Amino acid sequence: MDFSISPELESTLDIVETFVAEELHPLEDHVVHGHWDVIQSELDKRRDRVKELGLWTPHLDEQWGGMGLSLVEFGHVAEALGRSPLGHYAFNCQAPDAGNMEILTEYGTDWQKERFLEPLLDGDTRSCFAMTEPDNAGSNPTMLDTTARRDGDEFVINGRKWFTSGADGADFAIVMAVTDPDAEDRYSRASQIIVPADADGFELERNISVMGESGSGYLSHGEVTFDDCRVPAENLLGPAEGGFAIAQERLGPGRIHHCMRWIGICERAFDLMCRRANQREVYPGSPLGDRQMVQEKIADSRADIDAARLMTLQAAWQIDRKGTRAARVDISKIKYFVAGVLQDVLDRAIQIHGALGVTDDTPLAFWYRHERGARIYDGPDEVHKRVVAKKSLKERASD
């Protein structure tokens, strides 16, 4: 058992951390106030710099211009990027594009790669992933009303999706739609289909107002409709009725990405809470950090974050070794564990900041709002807990 990381990775992480602190932190103020567009041009310059540093799309294999990291290694990078709300975007490994890139490299046809993947890899476009439906519980992903009927050389898509993050301004959507409603196996009814944003019948109805912000562009969550929306049959992504199989594979590493990003957020929040505790004086010469109610929050956070990191890295290591399917339970386990730690750490950091903590003068309030969803998106806690419990019970069924 060896908890060390290689000197190469250490050196990469140094570069990433410095970049995030020096180049991205100064831009954050606009993000937490919801002004993404104001900094787009500044961000584009940063992205060029990331390309020059050879750190672009770090999650991908070298053949796709990536860094060829193992998932454990990328996990560390993702943590470093997570320390800023801008980190993943600046390095072109932001959700949902990162996952879409992975699906396209794995399942895309040559034409799909040229038309949809390449501009994504270059950072020239963005994309979205349309799976969740407002009228169906996300906790049961097989309940889908959106259909794609084959009509000659085309699919005719009808349905409504929401939390299609980044739909606003996206070049295309990957849509999960039922193509074989009568299949006995309910996991074999849906396919993934690429829908260009300009397809007739595809509409962004609204950017959903989430925690007070509708947002725009990359920082938005769309509600979209498909109204007899027609796309060519060649837009089918991967095998027909293979939608869930692909999604599952995509979500495995994607959950590692999220968890490590959350840990990056936690570390930033931890830094902020300690600094505040050092600097804020209750009376002259007596900082908050001398108080045990503050110390307890710091100590609990320190232990929780370190536990979350080890758990996530171990799950990544399992995926590296055995693949996503074999690591399914590990992935479920970190999903609720790390999301819970994230919420607790942010809450403690805000409390230690007092009134300042609820303002947008720090990024804490931004994360507090935007990451309340962490315990819900990609499967709510309740679903993942069931997965873990049922596995544990089953392993002992014959005892």
Least distance from its own copies to the Cβ atom of residue 68, Å: 16
Least distance from its own copies to the Cβ atom of residue 37, Å: 16
Is residue 217 involved in binding its own copies (CB under 8 A)? Answer: no
Of the ranges 54-62, 119-127, 197-205, 210-218, which one interacts with its own copies (CB under 8 A)? 210-218
Is residue 101 involved in binding its own copies (CB under 8 A)? Answer: no
Least distance from its own copies to the Cβ atom of residue 173, Å: 17
Cβ closer to its own copies: 56 or 368? 368
Q: Which positions from 123 through 152 interact with its own copies, judged by CB under 8 A?
A: 132, 134, 137-140, 143
- Binding residue count for its own copies, defined by CB under 8 A: 93
Distance set, CA 48 to CA 16, 83, 143 (Å): 14, 20, 42
Cβ closer to its own copies: 182 or 399? 399
**Bridge partners, residue 34, by sequence:** none
Is residue 187 involved in binding its own copies (CB under 8 A)? Answer: no
Of the ranges 15-23, 58-66, 167-175, 384-392, which one interacts with its own copies (CB under 8 A)? 384-392
CA atoms of 194 and 177, how far apart (whole Å): 10
Q: Which positions from 13 through 32 interact with its own copies, judged by CB under 8 A?
A: 32
Q: Do residues 115 and 108 lie in contact, with contact meaning Cβ atoms separated by under 8 Å?
A: no
Least distance from its own copies to the Cβ atom of residue 5, Å: 6
CA atoms of 9 and 3, how far apart (whole Å): 13
Is residue 11 involved in binding its own copies (CB under 8 A)? Answer: no
Three-state DSSP at 3 gives coil
Is residue 262 involved in binding its own copies (CB under 8 A)? Answer: no
CB atoms within 10 A of CB 397: 6
Among 154, 203, 234, 381, binds its own copies (CB under 8 A): 381
Is residue 263 involved in binding its own copies (CB under 8 A)? Answer: no
Among 162, 172, 226, 244, binds its own copies (CB under 8 A): 162
Q: Which positions from 309 through 368 interact with its own copies, judged by CB under 8 A?
A: 310-311, 313-314, 317, 333-334, 336-337, 350-351, 354-361, 365-366, 368
Three-state DSSP at 199 gives coil
**Bridge partners, residue 176, by sequence:** 192
Length of the chain: 399
CA angle 296–298–299, rounded 5-degree value? 65
Tokens of 66: 């990536």
Among 17, 28, 34, 171, binds its own copies (CB under 8 A): 34
Q: Do residues 348 and 296 lie in contact, with contact meaning Cβ atoms separated by under 8 Å?
A: no
CA angle 59–96–360, rounded 5-degree value? 100
DSSP-assigned states of every residue in 35-74: -HHHHHHHHHHHHHHHHHTT-SSTTS-GGGTS----HHHH
